[in-house]
């Protein structure tokens, strides 16, 4: 199944919350371990960000995803400030893939978020 899972894919995932409850969600794959040159395991981990219809007031690290892009049935947001790791076996459906313009915007916003986190760490440690 991992031969069809790649960066930019929007997928449905079964997972457990921190409280141990079963949940299902829609996620954007931002990194697939399968394409790492150091990949040696038989398991593929996927780093993903949650896709939601909730409006995050004050959170600038979201990317708007338009209805129809990756077969989304409504406008959504990708919350880039929380990254989840799943095993490929937890994916039960691929909805589609985001277009390259949207993925470039995702990576641009992720770089900005990472820079802010790095600056906060440097402020604390220096």
HSE of 23, CA atoms in CB hemisphere, 13 A: 12
Residue 3 has pLDDT above 60, yes or no: no
The per-residue pLDDT for range 65-103, each reduced to its tens digit, is 999 999 999 999 999 988 999 998 999 999 999 999 999
The CATH number, out of the four listed (1.20.1260.10, 2.30.30.110, 3.40.470.10, 2.60.40.420), of the domain defined by the range 2-125: 2.30.30.110
| Domain definitions of the chain by residue range | 2-125
The per-residue pLDDT for 58 is 63
Place of tokens 């794959």: 29
Tokens of 105: 């915007």
pLDDT above 80 for 34: no
How many angstroms separate the CA atoms of 114 and 117, rounded? Answer: 5
Give the pTM: 0.83
Work out the mean pLDDT of the chain and round it to a whole number. Answer: 85
């Amino acid at each position: 199944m991992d031969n069809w899972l790649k960066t930019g894919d929007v997928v449905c995932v079964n997972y457990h919350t921190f409280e141990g409850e079963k949940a299902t969600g829609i996620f954007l794959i931002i990194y697939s371990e399968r394409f790492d040159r150091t990949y040696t395991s038989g398991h593929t981990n996927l780093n993903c960000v949650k896709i939601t219809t909730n409006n995050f007031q004050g959170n600038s690290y979201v990317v708007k995803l338009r209805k129809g892009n990756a077969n989304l049935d409504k406008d959504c947001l990708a919350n880039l400030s929380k990254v989840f790791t799943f095993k490929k076996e937890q994916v039960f459906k691929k909805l589609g893939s985001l277009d390259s313009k949207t993925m470039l915007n995702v990576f641009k916003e992720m770089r900005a978020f990472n820079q802010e986190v790095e600056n906060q760490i440097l402020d604390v440690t220096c």
